[in-house]
Structure 1
Amino acid sequence: AGESCSSPARVHDAPGGIVMRFLPEPSAQSLRLLFLFLFVMGVAPSPALTAGCPDRCVCDDQLVVQCAGQDLTLFPNDLPLATRQLIISNNRIGDLPALQLNYLSDLVYLDCSNNSLTEISESTFGNLRKLAYLDLSFNTLLQIEDRTFGPLASLVMLRMTDNPGLGEIHPDAFLENIALQVLDVSRNNLTSLNISSLIALPALRSLGLSGNPWRCDCDTEDLCLWVKIEGFKFQEGQTVCYNPPELAGQRLADVGMQLRVDCHQGLGYWDYLFFIAIGFVIFSAGTVSAWVMGILMVLYERYTKRKSEEVDSDDEDQRGGGGGGVCGGGGGNQGNGDLSKPGMEV
């Protein structure tokens, strides 16, 4: 009766002399620790995601790797292979290493905006077949080469705005991106754009061109006409001519027909004179050639006729002289033969 309830253990006599020992009751602190451990184990990301999470990045159980605004100068290492969204914006990264990036074959979202990227090659995105969103805005890109985005068969949205040095995009840069719906190349340094591959994209529905110093001449005639015809595809903005000075400030859609007329003008006075002179020369040359050929044919015909007459005359002469000789020779031979035969002697 005098035992305390807080004693570490209790011993009771049981039938048969068996002693039963009970463990002490768990304290409140132990229970709190146990519940905390179970809670952490339940909500913590899986080891597959946390084991490879780069430094200064956050990886969650939604396969999103967030490395934005961490003042990174190199592409993050040890990225989880199952990453589906990678955000490395607002850093100072100068290169996208193809070897590391192409391990992320399940990547569908890539934000590289506001970095120091200067070059994108064909091998950069060589294995990103599932990538649907790509943002390369606010970088220092200089040009886009042939088939740069060719491997991105699932690419739907591509943003390449605000690259002050971007002045050239290869005509075939988007040739294989048949799923591309939104393309934004606003506020770059583009003066012309070959639209042959863009026209062939069946899903394209939005194209941003504003803020570029467009040169409105015969090289951009097709672009201006396309903007006018397919106006619903182009985003609002200052898509105006920068050069030549007489067209500066005018919208591309408004100068399309003017360029059409200027770049395909009709024949002038001197053009007609040139064609007349060329026709006269060709006619004269043909006439002289025909006259010379006619004279040559007449001379050749006369020559062949005279040659034929000479041959016939020679044949007649040979027949007349050859016949008398044969007769005389035959008679002489006959007489000589008769005289020489022994049976004719008496």
Structure 2
Amino acid sequence: MRLAPQPTSAQPLRLVVFLVLLGAGVVCSPVISAGCPDRCVCDDQLVVQCAGQHLTTFPVNLPLATRQLIISNNRIAELPPLALNYLSDLVYLDCSNNSLTEISESTFGNLRKLAYLDLSFNTLLRIEDRTFGPLASLVMLRMTDNPGLSEIHSDAFSENEALQVLDVSRNNLTALNITSLIALPALRSVGLSGNPWSCQCDNEDLCLWVHLETFKFQGPVSLLF
């Protein structure tokens, strides 16, 4: 069975992120400032840019008031909870294209203002039930292109009531328990394409949901019987 809903425009999604960041005061032009981690650029609006610097570990000595942190396109293998959770004002975190293999239940324990999180293009294997629990303000979560990601706990998103956009495209998911997703009041866009979905008995709810909520899905979704 192949369902091909109308593709969701990316423009409204970008607008959501822009408005969130604008409200937090983090959309700005980069300038060099004191107290910035090695090989990173910090600006006067609390944005720290460390993308593409061949980093193998999470940057140290980050300004505690950092609002936006971009560590994409490096080789970072771990997000240390102790260092990350000092950044309690963080609203935007881009960890895409690194070497992350797991996210622990304590990784995001103190990031209650975080609105945007990108974990795409890593080597994640599974998502536990409490991984995103503390992220009460999370609006957009991208977790695409993790070729080994085969399991997402049924309660992984149960506490993310602000979540509007979820993208788990191009992973290795064959099944997904949608109980917690159905209950999310703000959810309006879901990306599921590019996974080897198997629409067996334990996946019937997912098949029905895709059929009934076609407007929420980004791109065509193939569910195989």
CA distance in structure 1 between the partners assigned to 2:150 and 2:212 by the alignment: 25
Instruction: Note the 1:119-138 alignment, pairs <5 A.
Output: 119-138=102-121
Which residue of 62, 73, 81 corresponds with 1:79? 62
Instruction: Note the 1:32-47 alignment, pairs <5 A.
Output: none
CA contact (8 A) 2:207 2:223 kept: no
Q: Count the aligned residue pairs.
A: 196
**2:99 corresponds to:** 116
Which residue of 126, 151, 158 corresponds with 1:175? 158
CA contact (8 A) 2:98 2:121 kept: yes
Q: Structure with the greater relative contact order (CA < 8 A, sep ≥ 6): 1 or 2?
A: 2
Structure 2: state its 5+ residue gaps.
1-30
Pairwise CA distance, 1:241: 2.8
SS of equivalent residue, structure 1 residue 207: strand
SS of equivalent residue, structure 2 residue 210: helix
* Deviation string, structure 1 residues 79-124 (Cα, Å, up to 9, x no partner): 0011000000000000000000000000000000000000001100
SS of equivalent residue, structure 2 residue 105: coil
Which residue of 50, 59, 71 corresponds with 2:34? 50
Q: Percent of pairs identical after alignment?
A: 83
Pairwise CA distance, 1:147: 1.3
Structure 1 segments of 4 or more deviating over 3 A?
none
* Deviation string, structure 1 residues 137-189 (Cα, Å, up to 9, x no partner): 00000000011100000000000000000000000000100000000000000
Pairwise CA distance, 1:62: 1.2
CA distance in structure 1 between the partners assigned to 2:77 and 2:143 by the alignment: 16
SS of equivalent residue, structure 2 residue 204: helix
- Which amino acid in the other structure matches residue 164 of structure 2? Q
Name the TM-score, length of structure 1 as normaliser.
Answer: 0.56
- Which amino acid in the other structure matches residue 105 of structure 1? S
SS of equivalent residue, structure 1 residue 50: coil
- Which amino acid in the other structure matches residue 140 of structure 2? M
1:227 lines up with 2:205 in the alignment: no
- Which amino acid in the other structure matches residue 143 of structure 1? R
Pair member with larger Rg: 1
CA distance in structure 1 between the partners assigned to 2:137 and 2:130 by the alignment: 14
CA contact (8 A) 2:53 2:73 kept: yes
CA distance in structure 2 between the partners assigned to 1:118 and 1:135 by the alignment: 14
**2:80 corresponds to:** 97
- Which amino acid in the other structure matches residue 102 of structure 2? E
SS of equivalent residue, structure 1 residue 134: strand
Pairwise CA distance, 1:219: 0.8
**1:215 corresponds to:** 198
SS of equivalent residue, structure 1 residue 214: coil
CA distance in structure 2 between the partners assigned to 1:109 and 1:94 by the alignment: 19
Instruction: Note the 1:19-38 alignment, pairs <5 A.
Output: none
CA distance in structure 1 between the partners assigned to 2:53 and 2:170 by the alignment: 26
* Deviation string, structure 1 residues 16-55 (Cα, Å, up to 9, x no partner): xxxxxxxxxxxxxxxxxxxxxxxxxxxxx79xx512x100
SS of equivalent residue, structure 1 residue 198: helix
Which residue of 53, 56, 72 corresponds with 1:70? 53
Instruction: Note the 1:239-258 alignment, pairs <5 A.
Output: 239-242=221-224, 247=225
CA distance in structure 1 between the partners assigned to 2:169 and 2:127 by the alignment: 14
- Which amino acid in the other structure matches residue 216 of structure 1? C
SS of equivalent residue, structure 1 residue 65: strand
Structure 1: state its 5+ residue gaps.
1-44, 248-346
Name the TM-score, length of structure 2 as normaliser.
Answer: 0.85
Aligned Cα root-mean-square deviation (Å): 1.4
Give the helix-richer structure, 1 or 2. 1
